[in-house]
Amino acid sequence: MALLMIGGAAVAACSPAESPTPFATEFPIGPTPYPSGTIGHYGLHIDPSLLGKLPRSVDAYVLQEDALDENQAMDNKDLANSFDGYAAASIGQPGDTNWLTLVIGHVKSSVTFADFYPDWVSQYDTGACSQADAVASTGQSTIGGWIVDTATCGGGLDVYSLSLGDGLVLSMFGGGSAQLGTKLIESIYF
């Protein structure tokens, strides 16, 4: 089951948004191809409002919606069978000094989360490391109070997945000495 679409790093420009709700961090839902969301061929809802759960920036690096990854995800039947909402974002692109790419999704209520999540983590790790010398190690740690499933690729990339509660899953991978994935997780609050 190929759940992952680890997409390219095309980035849509974003502008500041209004103040976030008290239980979400701020993320600009500015110019986007899907301002109110859109639904793909198999029914996957691209929902940029999910990005409102994340910080707007990490160490002065701005997190921006990744419309290319979202567009590719809309044609993925497995993602549509698992998620009722999905969004993607990135900081920079692979090859930059510091970069991060992420997806956040809301798992369908018809999907048993306890069965889904371990498979998702394994497949995400494999997909993220597929062009970085495969998964070298996996583990679990606590970052900023969150229990995080981690992996390291043979090529040095770091991979993170965590449950944000209420069916929300956040997965990301990146590279560089700034450790943007760790810092993003430390910045999440609810």
- Give me the pLDDT at residue 40, please: 72
**Would residue 179 be called left, alpha or beta, if left means φ above 0 and alpha means ψ between -120 and 50 degrees?**
left
Token couple for 114? 């306890």
User: What residues are paired with 57 via a beta bridge?
Assistant: 62
Give pLDDT < 50 ranges for the chain: 1-31
pLDDT in tens, 148-164: 999 999 999 999 999 99
Give the C-alpha separation, 73 to 71, whole Å.
5
Which helix or strand (DSSP H or E) is residue 186 part of? helix 180-187
Question: Which residue ranges make up each domain of the chain?
Answer: 38-187
